[in-house]
Amino acid sequence: MIFKYMRILTILLILLGVFISTENGNSLEMEELSPVIFVSYAGSEMQLQSTLNLAESIRTFGGQYKEAPIWIYTHRELIVKDLEIKKKFNALDVQIKYVIIPEETSWFFLSGMVFTAAMAESESFGETSILVFIGSDTIIIKETQELILQNSVSLGYRTVTHKNISPLYTEELDTYWSKAYSLMKIDEQTIFKMITPADDDTIRPYFNASRLAVRPERGIFRKWGEMYLMMCRDSTIKTESEKNSLKRVFTFQVALIGTIVNNLNRSEIVEFLNRYNYPIFFNEMFNAKKDFHDITNKVTIR
C-alpha cells in the first residue's frame, strides 16, 4: 500500500513541477526553443564540401551560437556518392536534409536555394526564434552577434554586392523587370534606394539571398517559394532570361524583392553591417571599384 501512495505522491510532485515551470517561464516547449538555426544548400559536390567548411566555421567561431542546430539541404545522390563527407557532417552534429525542387523551376539556376529556405522555414516553425539562411560559400570567422533580431524586426539582410542585373534607381525598367514587377504586384510606393557595397551604385531594392535572417512564423521564405514559382511559369520572364543568361541565373533573387516589399514594412527589416557577407577578392573577380582584402573585424566572408 505504501508503494501505491509513494507513486501517487511522485506523480503529484512531477505535475506540480510542470505547473511551476509553466507559470515561471511561459512553457516547457518555449524553454526548448533554439535561439537560431543555421541553414544552407548544397547543389553539387563542390558546394557540399563548402557547406562542410561553413559548418566547421560555425562550430569553431560561432561563439554563443557555436552549438546551434545546422541544417544542410542537398540531394540524396550527392550523399550516396560521398559517404565519407556524411560522417564528417555527423561528427559536427549537422543534420542532412533533402530538398524538393519543383520541376517547373528546373530550367532556372539556383532554384534549390529558394526551396531549401522555404522547406527549412516550414520545418523550423516552433523550433527556433530566428532562421538564418547562408550561402554555401560563406565562412564565419567571428561570433554573429547581430543575428538576434529586435522584437519589431522580422528580416535581416544584406544588399547585393554589385548592381548585376538590377536597374539603377533612376533607370527605366526593361521588359524583364517591368514584367517581374507586374507579376509580383509591386507598388512603386514601396520602392526605396539601396547602395551597392562594391561600387556605391544607387539601385532599386535588391536583396542578397546568401545572407538572410527571418522569423519563421512570418512565412517570408515560403512566400518566396510561391513568388518564384509564379515567375518561373511566366513566358515573358523565360523569354527574356533566354536572351540574358544572368537573368536566368538570378531570377530566384528577383523573386525575393516582391516577397519582402509586399509583406514587410520598412520598420520590420534591417540591413546587417558590412562586417557580414564580406566578399573577399571581389574586385579581382568583378572589377569592383572598392577593395575587399581587409577582413579585420569581419564576421562572415565569402
Q: Give yes or no for residue 76 having a pLDDT over 60.
A: yes
Q: What is the pLDDT of residue 3?
A: 33
In a domain, 268, yes or no: yes
Q: Which of 14-28, 134-148, 287-301 has the lowest mean pLDDT?
A: 14-28
3 within domain boundaries: no
In contact, 203 and 169? CB cutoff 8 Å: yes
8 Å CB contact between 301 and 139: yes
- Per DSSP, helices labelled H in the chain are 2-24, 28-31, 45-61, 76-81, 83-91, 111-124, 175-184, 220-232, 235-243, 245-263, 282-286
C-alpha cell at 182: 507586374
Q: What is the mean pLDDT of the chain?
A: 89
Share of the chain above pLDDT 70, in %: 89
Give per-residue pLDDT as tens, 46-55.
999 999 999 9
pLDDT of residue 31: 52
Which stretch of 1-5, 184-188, 205-209 has the lowest confidence by average pLDDT? 1-5
Question: Domain for residue 74, yes or no?
Answer: yes
What pLDDT is stored for residue 290 in this prediction?
76
The confidence band for 77, taking pLDDT boundaries of 50, 70 and 90, is very high
Residue 15 forms part of a structural domain: no
- Whichever domain contains 233, its CATH number is 3.90.550.10
**Parent domain of 254:** 27-301
> In angstroms, what CA-CA distances link 81 with 44, 71, 85, 141?
11, 19, 9, 30
- Flag whether 284 is in a domain: yes
Cell of 273: 553591417
Tell whether 2 is covered by a domain.
no
Say what the pTM is. Answer: 0.88
For residue range 132-177, what is the model confidence (pLDDT) as tens digits? 999 999 999 998 878 779 889 999 999 999 999 999 999 999 999 9
Distance between CA 136 and CA 9 in Å, rounded?
A: 53
Read off the pLDDT band of 14 (50, 70, 90). very low
270-289 pLDDT, tens digit per residue, is 999 999 998 887 767 767 77
Is 6 part of any domain? Answer: no
Residue 22 has pLDDT above 60, yes or no: no
The structural domain count of the chain equals: 1
159 is a domain residue: yes
